[in-house]
Amino acid sequence: MTLDEIANYADLISAVTVMGGVIFGLIQLAEFRKQRRDMIASELMHTFNSVDLADAVTLIHMLPDHCPAAELRARGPQYERAAVIICTSFETMGLLVHSRIADYDLFRSLSGGMVVVMWRKLDGWLDSVRAEQSQPSWAEWFQWLAQVSSRHKDESRPAYVAYRDWNP
């Protein structure tokens, strides 16, 4: 075997090794993305299982639509605290969805209807808070998420209708 043939084999082995490394890297990247998606889904579900959020939704759900700040505050500090919990929870989710870190379809399945209802209840209060604080961006991602969810609410049927005939 000549030195040129050995060099050719070495080049071939080198090319195969590099290609194998690239393929392995792509597989690892895909696995990392899947793990990140699963972790975010778990965190979203954890957020919706929060006792604080459940208590907040229970209080705010009783308010009239477009509740003015004065009326919300007249019901006691627990109502404003509940409103802040809802805003901060959905604010975080909105930013994650917009940044494509969290999957919108998963979010919509978990709470697309809830975010629309909570926004409808709190939009009057939020307008006042934004004006009082001179902070028009307060809860901006909550509003964005509610508006996007509202636009897409008719795209799917409720799970109990859509999957009525589903079998495990």
pLDDT in tens, 56-108: 999 999 999 999 999 999 999 999 999 999 999 999 889 888 988 888 888 88
Q: Mean pLDDT, to the nearest integer, of 152-159?
A: 71
Task: State residue 103's pLDDT score.
Answer: 83
pLDDT reading at 125 higher than 90: yes
Distance between start and end Cα atoms, the chain: 62
Domain ranges of the chain: 1-36, 50-162
Residue 67 token pair: 């509740």
Distance of CA 153 to the CA centre of its chain: 16
Query: Does residue 10 have a pLDDT over 90?
Result: no
Rg of the Cα atoms in the chain: 25
CA 108 to chain CA centroid, nearest Å: 8
CB within 8 Å of 103: residues ≥ 6 apart? 37, 40, 41, 97
pLDDT for res 71:
97
Element (H, E) at 11: helix 3-48
Residues in CB range of 86: below 8 A, 6 or more apart? 53, 56, 57, 60, 118, 122, 142
Say yes or no to pLDDT of 49 above 90: no
Residue range 103-119: average pLDDT? 86
Length, in residues, of the chain = 168
Share of the chain above pLDDT 70, in %: 96
Average pLDDT over residues 45-51: 74
Whether the CB-CB separation of 40 and 102 falls below 8 Å is answered with yes
Joined tokens for residue 73 = 């505050």
126 three-state secondary structure? helix
Angle, CA of 125, 71 and 75, to the nearest 5°: 110
- Is the pLDDT at 44 greater than 80? The verdict is no
When pLDDT is cut at 50, 70 and 90, the band that residue 154 belongs to is low
Binned at pLDDT 50, 70 and 90, residue 156 comes out as low
